Amino acid sequence: QSALTQPPSVSGSPGQSVTISCTGTSTDVGGYNRVSWFQQPPGTAPKLMIYEVTNRPSGVPDRFSGSKSGNTASLTISGLQAEDEADYYCISYTTTNTWVFGGGTKLTVL
């Protein structure tokens, strides 16, 4: 159950777009369309932003979008806003009926 690989940090200015990658293997990210993304501001529980690679729960702005190619999933945030500054985690269901998280990416809005 090795962790998925995410960049430690990304940054962008208000209004810009950023993309966070999440790389796994054929036994997790590449094996299913069961990748989710969570946003976690400091001191709070994670909040679901994307599920099943591309789907947004109600209430999540459409500035947040997800995609996947092979063993790599991506989260794109367009029209960056100051309130988007947080840690972002990907997670995938695996072929052994377990879940594996990415190491997390700190988004800084400049």
- Where does this chain bind other proteins (CB under 8 A)? 1, 3, 32, 34, 36, 38, 40, 45-46, 48, 51-52, 55, 57, 87, 89, 91, 93, 96-104
Is-contact 29 23, C-beta < 8 A? yes
CB of 108 to other proteins, least distance (A): 17
Pairing assessment for the beta strands 35-40 and 86-93 based on DSSP bridges: antiparallel
Q: Which residues contact 70 (CB under 8 A, 6 or more apart)?
A: 30
Contact 69, 1 (CB under 8 A): no
Which one, 56 or 63, has the nearer CB to other proteins? 56
Min CB(6)–other proteins separation in Å: 9
Q: How far is the CB of 80 from other proteins (least distance, A)?
A: 22
